[in-house]
Structure 1
């Protein structure tokens, strides 16, 4: 159903296997630090998510296009 009733501080959201989500709603609810997609997602989904992130001013990273994303602590 896509109801996100959780509270996190600066989450990083990783989208895999082409989930059917409302990214606008997820961004408004979670306010993620970054959205990351991997190579398992459909190309048209990734393009749509990238556009959504740009409109919402949320950083977006596509590992299929840009390579591995390394999180440093």
Structure 2
């Protein structure tokens, strides 16, 4: 799910296939992720065959869980 969110943030393209660079979009999404809002976001796979609708709160939970796993792996070495 986090990979799809990364693609949503940084790999969005316009209708003609050019990269869509919008810094305010990135900042707003990261703020919503940090706050864990209940607003929903539609995430689509790169092949456009799979779509997930999730909340920023769910994404935040996934991010926190992934970070906790990294910390646990780093401290167990």
Q: Same fold (TM over 0.5)?
A: no
Say which one has the larger Rg: 2
Richer in helix (by share): 2
